[in-house]
Amino acid sequence: MALRGASRKARAAGDPVLTAARPARRRGDRGGHCARRRRGPLGAAAAARLGRLARRLAQPLTGLRPLRVGVRPLPLARPAGDRGRGRHEALRAGGDRRSRRGYGGLALSLAGALCGRDRALAGDLQRDRSPPHFRADRRRAVVGARGGRPRGGFRCVTAGSLALVSEGVSVVLPCLNEVDSVASVVREAKRAMDDAGVAGEVIVVDNGSTDGSAEAAIAAGARVINERRRGYGSAYMRGFAEAEGEVIVMADADGSYDFSALPGFLDRIRDGDDLVMGSRFKGRIEPGAMPWTHRHVGSPILSGLLNLLYRTGIEDAHCGMRAFRRDVLPELRLRMPGMEFASEMVVNAARARLRIGEVPVNYRMRGGKSKLRTVPDGWRHLRFLMLYSPTHLFLVPGLALLPGPVIVLGRLFDIHVMVLGALLTLIGFQVLAIGLYAKTLAVTLRLQPMDRTLRALRAVFSLERGLAAGALLFVLGFIVDFWIATEWAASGFGPLNAVRPALFALVAMLLGLQTMFSSLFLFAIELQVREPA
């Protein structure tokens, strides 16, 4: 596939960063060594000298073996005067969030680029639980970083400003029967990249459209991929795996998103955001573009819940225009095939503590028919938000119910309140236990990272302790019941008035049994998924 050269505008402005032409590139042509492929004004000797200097500076600090590669490109061209963001140079240079240790400063950032990338990527690959096509994609990047055939090629331009040439942008558009608009969206995206001075490609991921969308997209200059698995999420996952740009921009193929917002997205990425969300509420929403129910009911409820659970602070969590750096893909752990994919991306970005930004986007009337089914798709989002968060779904209500009703000034110590208390305690415990199963399962199957709650619980509980605590509670209840029985026998089996202690015994015995069986069940889950020694 041939990516375009830098924009005419940039060449006219004489920008050394943007004027470096991107060579036509076919699949399989992964480019070569930095110094060999250099296009900018920096000479080969200067590039090599810079590489040597950076390696020398880096070695004592990192203790890692330097790579052969001279200079690692940053994903996007940066304005020459735009400096002093050491964290993000190091961050990109390392190619992996886990390897970002805040080297700070120009030289150290380069050092990170030279030394940290190989190890960080390799380690990341081992931990990588993303779908197989993402893993394959990532593996290619690792091979490149090891000095093999770097993905996309390495080019040095103006090392002095650290403004290295753009690796390009991939605009990914999922498309299902959008013949009315897809061609104009492809052209609009290309024009926007040209105007922004970045090289790039437009990928349209089709799911077997029957209205000629694919042909229209090809004619407009897009790369069209046909994805077998249906669904908005499936289409995006495939598109991301195929994307060649360092920055991926998402948008609908229905013409609803205004690509004049593109520079805003790219600026935020340059500024260090990992994921940039569009906000239709901060931009202009054309009358009739967003149904009233979506604007005033669905969107605020779902965004509000998402913010409550994950504290993203994002106003428009379901905006379809977004951008992110391709190297954060493994951290996004995307799996959902349907529309809930949109929530999954934000939730996982928040969980991975990625930096999320928001920029205004104008929202226009779409062409053609919407594929969003308000109730089923709204429910899929809600279901995802709840099920992905067993802590909130089970543990919090369980804990809230566990103590039973609050007893004020002794007056509530009557039998009905006690029955209610027993009921709430049992329900609370039940919900809590199920929440704990769900959480343990999610963590052991690596659907979720280990969190503080579970870690703290694990530190305190073991199978043996759980069994012992459960047995103790059960025996306590049994003793109380036994005491009631002996008192009753002593009174010659006359009238019996021991409802309160009997209720206490009932609760204690039930909780005891549940604790024992829960401990066994949790141990069984862990045993099943524990890796063989």
Ligand X SMILES: Nc1nc2c(ncn2[C@@H]2O[C@H](COP(=O)(O)OP(=O)(O)O)[C@@H](O)[C@H]2O)c(=O)[nH]1
Closer CB to ligand X, 221 or 405, in the complex = 221
Which is nearer to ligand X, 71 or 176 (by Cβ)? 176
Euclidean distance between CA atoms 493 and 490, whole angstroms: 7
Question: DSSP secondary-structure letter at 445?
Answer: T
Judged by CB under 6 A, does residue 370 bind ligand X? Answer: yes
Nearest CB to Mg ion, comparing residues 5 and 368: 368
d(CA 47, CA 34): 9
Q: Does 377 bind Mg ion (CB under 5 A)?
A: no
Give the 3-state secondary structure of residue 87: helix
User: Please, which residue, 209 or 256, has the CB nearer to Mg ion?
Assistant: 256
**Nearest approach, Cβ of residue 245 and ligand X (Å):** 19
Identity of the residue, 35 or 205, whose beta carbon is nearer to ligand X in the bound complex? 205
Dihedral sign computed on CA atoms, order 361, 362, 367, 370: positive
User: Which of ligand X, Mg ion, none sits in contact with 75, Cβ below 5 to 8 A by type?
Assistant: none
Binding mask 190-229 for ligand X (x = CB under 6 A): ---------------xxx----------------------
- Residue 205 main-chain phi, psi, to 5 deg: -105, 115
322 in contact with ligand X (CB under 6 A): no
174 or 398, CB closer to ligand X? 174
Which residues ranging from 250 to 279 are in contact with Mg ion (CB under 5 A)?
252, 254, 256
| CA distances for 446 relative to 85, 340, 526, angstroms | 34, 19, 12
Report how far residue 270's alpha carbon sits from residue 261's, in angstroms, rounded to the nearest whole number: 15
b or e along 295-317 (b: 16 or more beta carbons within 10 Å of the residue's beta carbon)? eeebbeebbebbbebbebebbbb
> Closest CB to Mg ion among 178 and 358?
178
Residue 246 lies near Mg ion (rule: CB under 5 A): no
**Within 13 Å, how many C-alpha atoms sit on residue 40's CB side?**
29
Q: What is the smallest separation between the CB atom of 321 and Mg ion, expressed in angstroms?
A: 10
Q: What's the min distance (Å) between Cβ of 350 and ligand X?
A: 21
Q: How many residues bind ligand X (CB under 6 A)?
A: 20
Q: Interface with Mg ion includes 124 (CB under 5 A)?
A: no
Hey, what amino acid is at 10? A
Residues 198-237: x/- map of binding to Mg ion (CB under 5 A)? ----------------------------------------
Could you tell which of ligand X, Mg ion, none binds residue 275, using a CB distance below 5 to 8 A set by kind? none
E strands in 366-516: none
Structure tokens at 11: 């060449």
167: partner contacted, choices Mg ion, ligand X, none (Cβ within 5-8 A by kind): none
Residue among 320, 421, 435, 512 that touches ligand X (CB under 6 A):
320
Pair type for strands 223-226 and 169-175: unpaired
The torsion defined by the Cα of 466, 472, 473 and 479, in degrees rounded to 10, comes to 160
Quote the tokens at residue 219.
Answer: 């004619």
Query: Between residues 178 and 274, which has the closer beta carbon with respect to ligand X?
Result: 178
Mapped onto helix, strand or coil, the DSSP state of residue 359 is: strand
Based on the shown chain and the rule CB under 6 A, indicate whether residue 371 belongs to the binding site for ligand X: yes
**316 is a contact residue toward Mg ion (CB under 5 A):** no
- The kind and range of the H/E element at 171 are strand 169-175
**Is residue 30 within 8 Å of residue 79, measured between CB atoms?**
no
d(CA 366, CA 344): 24
Among 225, 372, 427, 447, binds ligand X (CB under 6 A): 372
Q: Which CB sits closer to ligand X, 70 or 231?
A: 231
DSSP readout, 201-222?
EEEEEES--SSSHHHHHHHTT-
Distance CA 239, CA 334 (A): 12
Is 242 a residue that touches ligand X (CB under 6 A)? no
For residue 230, the partner it binds in Mg ion, ligand X, none, with Cβ less than 5 to 8 A by kind, is ligand X
| Alpha-carbon gap, residue 21 to 325, rounded angstroms | 21
Q: Which of 15, 137, 178, 201 binds ligand X (CB under 6 A)?
A: 178
SS3 state at 173: strand
DSSP per-residue string spanning 89-151: HHHHHHTSGGG-----SHHHHHHIIIIIHHHHHHHHHHH--S-HHHHHHHHHHHHHHTTSS-T
Residue 177 in the binding site for Mg ion (CB under 5 A) = no
Residue with tokens 């700070």: 104
Q: Is 319 in the site for ligand X (CB under 6 A)?
A: no
* Residues between 245 and 304 with contacts to ligand X, criterion CB under 6 A: 252-254, 256
From the list Mg ion, ligand X, none, pick the one residue 170 interacts with, judged by a Cβ distance below 5 to 8 Å according to partner type: none
Residue 224: CB minimum distance to ligand X, A: 11
CA 177 from chain centre, in angstroms, equals 28
Taking the least distance from each CB to ligand X, the nearer of 166 and 256 is 256
Which of the listed partners (ligand X, Mg ion, none) does 231 bind, with a CB threshold of 5 to 8 Å by partner kind? Answer: ligand X
Q: With respect to Mg ion, which residue has the nearer C-beta, 174 or 330? A: 174
| Residues at the site binding ligand X, with contacts judged by CB under 6 A | 174-176, 178, 205-207, 230-232, 235, 252-254, 256, 320, 366, 370-372
Residues contributing to the site for Mg ion (CB under 5 A): 252, 254, 256
